[in-house]
Structures are given as structure tokens and as C-alpha cells.
Chains A and B, each alone.
Chain A
Amino acid sequence: MTTKEALYNYVLRLADDNLILAQRLAEWCSCGPILEEDLAITNISLDLLGQAEDFYEYASELNGEKNVDELAFLRSEREYFNHLLVEQPNGDFACSMVRQMLFATYAKHLYEALLNSRDEKLVALATKGLKEVKYHFRHSSEWIIRFGKGTEESNVRTQNAINELWRYTDDLFEMNETDKVLITQSIGFSLKDIYPLWKAEISHVLDAANITIPELGNVITGGINGMHTEYLGHILAEMQFLQRAHPGAKW
């Protein structure tokens, strides 16, 4: 794998994570528990869409053939490199907030590490993304604390959410050939470096919320190698409908 190929794969991974999570969050549109929160979730979805678009633009530059929408809308399940966590269903509001907190914490440390990348474009995109994911982290972790300490029901729902989603968290720290190539070029970095930071930060939030990390012994990985849960295909079927039904049409 050449450095350029690795960088392309890596940028797609970042783009896909943002797009798929944005799509999931957009499902909350008009379904929020309170109007203010409907707007907040839409806002986060918009932030992630913007980040996805920036990363797809970079991927498009590296690829030289496909434009942003071809990359976003015309690949199949096996060609998406997003993590399994972001494709998981919204569940209830607690579940969506737990997923958001787990991912935002990861994205925050990922972008912080990318600030030291030798690739200037990645540094620029990470800088922009970092501001937004810090807010997403604050927003979701405040909800988790509110829920954890709110009512018995909200505590149970939040605990159920972490029990359900925890099995997909190791997947966030998986690495493959892409990472290896980029690490040797000082473009990427080892995700092992940020795992302890991530773990400490989410533990801090969950402790504050009286929520415990489950001991599952169940680890599911595959996203970065294009192996997904069955949810992704349905997300794509819906998202890609118009592009697939009207090939070549301009919108």
C-alpha cells in the first residue's frame, strides 16, 4: 500500500464515521424529547455532515476521479470504513447520548493527536473538527450525568445503553495496514496512544453519572476493514436512494 493509498483510506474512514453518525442523528429530526433538544441534535448532525464533506473533499482530491457525492453516495457496504459504533441504531435518547459521548470522546483525542500529523491538510481539518467535537462531548456527557442522577428510570436506561454499546468500543481502536503505513510516515499515529486517554475520560463521566462499565467479554470489530453490522446496508439503501435511482442526475 502506498502512502497516498493509505492516506485516502484513512481520510475516507474519518469521512464515513462522520457521515454515518450524522445520518443516524438526523433520524431524530422532529422526534426529540423536547424542541430545544431536537434543534441541538440537528445542530450536531450538521456539524458532522460538514466534517464529512470536508474529509470527502480531501479524499476526492487524493483519488482524483470521484467527486464528493460519488464518494458519499455511490459506494457499497464493504467499501465503507466507518466504525461499528456509529451505525448502531439510535435506541432511546439515553442510547443516542451514550453513543455520542463514546464517539465524541474518541474523536476529540483523535483530532488532538492529528494536530501533530505531518500532513498539513489533516492538521487543518482536525483543528476545525476539534472545536465541534469538544462541544458534542460536553453536550452528551452532561445528558449522561443528568440521566444517571435523575430518576431511577433514566439511570436504568443509561446503564442499558452502555451495556448494549460497550461491545463496539474496542472497534474504535482497531488498526490495519492503513495505520501502519501512515504511522511510519508520521502522518498517522497509534490508536493505542489515545486509548488510555479515552478510557479515563469516559470513565470520569460515567462515574459522575453513577453508571458502570459492563464486564462483557464480548468484543465486535470490523468497521475499518469494511466488515459491518447489518444496519449499515439499510442506512445506505435509504441514503443512496436518489443517486442510485437516477444515475448521473444533477440535484
Chain B
Amino acid sequence: MTEEEKLKRFNALIEQDEKIEPKDWMPEAYRKTVLRQMTQHAHSEVIGMQPEGNWVLRAPTLRAKKILLAKIQDEGGHGLYLYSAAETLGMDRSEMIQQLHEGKAKYSHIFNYPTLNWADIGAIGWLVDGAAIVNQVSLQRTSYGPYSRAMVRICKEESFHQRQGYEIMATMMNGTAAQKEMAQDAMNRWWWPSLMMFGPSDKDSWHTQESMQWKIKRASNDDLRQKFIDKTVDQAYVIGLTVPDKDLKFNETTKHWETGAINWDEFWNVVKGNGLCNHKRMAHHIKYHNEGQWVRQAVLAYSEKINAMQSATSL
């Protein structure tokens, strides 16, 4: 097949809503875009273990501790699954991690915010995972097969995370004055960053058009954000939380909630590395990755010895 025919076949697959599989021919730019998105997603899952891990030793009840640990384990599992799925595009995990450490690969800006009280664990589950689900549900229809299947699997667990986060918020809003204050404080700090998770407005997003054309992305940033806002504002209201937006109003014609302007300067400032925890998150990941070096070397040395012994006996 000529390059032209290959491209024609690829475009036909995309056109017919068929999945692109690892062994299929794909344009280099498509491969790069999907790989970038998948590694960024995998890194986000793994870095996301840190802000939640910050409260695992201080979880207030045995039940809360179990749920939080299980949730963090899920996130790590998603990371692992996504790394493996991303490896089908020709880069191995150690290289992805190296790119993360060198700042060439990104992770979601949301994990650069600190978790300052127990309600933050609720807010991460409810708002951060809630926003992630909206995005991931849409990505179940993404054109790259392994990514699409990963999303189907991951969405099931994320919806459980969102429910447990909301449960924490609801319980605290039903509790003492101090608990209510913590819950509202968490709401105030996580609301806007959660809206920013969908990325810049469509008109300012570099990647959107090409990604939509290749069906890597199936819905625009603004549409996904609106979906999240509409479902979340009502949930906040039900448990007595105030959405920290004085301009928030319901548009009777469109039947959508309209928020005030998002402060994109804050978003870009955090993306550039000036969030409260950017430095800490990366330093933590590098530190423990380096500390694990001797373990990985031992595993390798041991398996080489075993292999040598086995080939010696088979001779």
C-alpha cells in the first residue's frame, strides 16, 4: 500500500467511527497526539495519588480510611492501565516517567492545589473526579481503541469515587459548625480549579480542532464544562453548599447555569509551575522514583541470575 492509500484507509476508519488499533497505520501526528494525551492522563492519575495520600494517615474513621486507600489504589491502577495502553504507541513507561521528570510531559494542573482539610478529600472526589468523569465519558468514544477501552473501565470506578466524595461533603454539611466551615472552604478552593480542568475555552485551545477531526476528542472543552456545571450546581444546592460565584445564574431560555468569568490567569500561572504544590509534587515523584532505583536493579539482577541458571540446566 502506498502512503496515500494508507492515509485513505485511516481516514475511512475515522469517518466510519471505527477504532484505530495499535497495529493499524496512523499518521505520525495522530500517534503523537494520542500518546501525549494518554501519558498526560496516566501521569495525572499517578500524581493525583499525592494530594489524596496526604490525608490517608489522618482519615477520621476506619471506614473513611479504607475507602480513601481503596480509591487511591484505584487511581494508581488507572495510571498503570493507561501507561500500558500508551505503550502500544511505541514508548515505554520509563521514558514516559523520564519525560515527566524533565517537564516535557504534563499532568493535570488540578493536582498542584493542596489538600488542607478533610473536606478537600470530599471535594476531590465530588468535583475533581466529577469533572474528570464528564471528560472521560466522552472519551469512551475516542478513536484510539486501547484508550477508548481504558476509559470504559475507568469510568466505572470514577463514578464510585464521585459518590464517595459527595458523601463526605454531605456528611460534613450535616455536621458541626466547624465541619460545615471546612466543607464550604473546600468548595471555595476547588470549584474554580475544577472548571479549569476542561482546559481553555474552545476559541483559545490549540489542540481542539485537529483532535476533533481525528475523533480523539469527541466534545469541546466548553460543552463538557457546561455539562459539569449543570449537574454540580444542583448537587451543591441540595446539601447547602454555596457556589463561590456571585455571577452564577440560571438561563431560563437555554436551561443552563451561567457562571462568571473564569480567571485563566490563575490557570496559566499554575500550569507554569507557580501553584502551591507543583514543586512538591514533582520533587516527591522524583525522590521516590530515585529511591526505588536499587529495588528495580535488584529485580533485574535477580531475574538475570535465574535466567542464567535455567539456561545452564537446560544445556
Contacts and interface: CB of A to CB of B under 8 A. Distances in A.
Nearest to B305: A149
Contacts of B175: 249-251
Nearest to B58: A241
Contact of A243 (B60, B70, B293): B60
Interface in B266-309: 284, 288, 291-299, 301-302, 305
A29 B69 contact: yes
B295 A34 contact: yes
A246 interface: yes
A242 B299 CA distance: 40
A238 B297 contact: no
A153 B298 contact: yes
B72 interface: yes
A151 B60 contact: no
Interface stretch (B45-53, B151-159, B250-258): B45-53
A39 B297 CA distance: 19
B57 interface: yes
A132 interface: no
Nearest to A46: B69
Contacts of B72: 29-30, 42
A151 B294 contact: yes
A93 B76 contact: no
Contact of A154 (B83, B284, B295): B295
Given A149-B305, A251-B118, A242 B76 contact: no
A249 B179 contact: yes
Interface string A29-66: 11111111111001101100110110010000000000
Contacts of A50: 66
A33 B76 contact: no
Looking at chain A's contact residues, is the secondary structure mostly helix, strand, loop, or mixed? helix
B22 interface: no
A80 interface: no
B299 A150 contact: yes
Contacts of B297: 150-151, 153-154
A129 B175 CA distance: 35
A49 B291 CA distance: 27
A171 B66 CA distance: 28
A180 B77 CA distance: 46
Contact of B302 (A43, A73, A150): A150
B314 interface: no
Given A35-B79, A246-B176, A250-B175, A23 B292 contact: no
Interface string A228-245: 000000000011011100
A105 B82 CA distance: 35
A154 B62 contact: no
A30 B292 contact: no
Contacts of A27: 57
B178 interface: yes
Given A72-B62, A250-B171, 9 more contacts: A33-B296, A34-B296, A36-B80, A53-B62, A73-B60, A150-B299, A157-B294, A239-B57, A249-B179
22 contacts: A23-B57, A26-B65, A32-B288, A33-B291, A33-B295, A33-B296, A34-B295, A35-B46, A35-B79, A39-B77, A39-B80, A46-B73, A49-B62, A49-B66, A53-B62, A72-B62, A92-B291, A150-B297, A246-B179, A249-B179, A251-B64, A251-B168
A-B pairs, top 5 by smallest CB distance, nearest first, are A33-B292, A150-B298, A154-B298, A33-B295, A242-B60
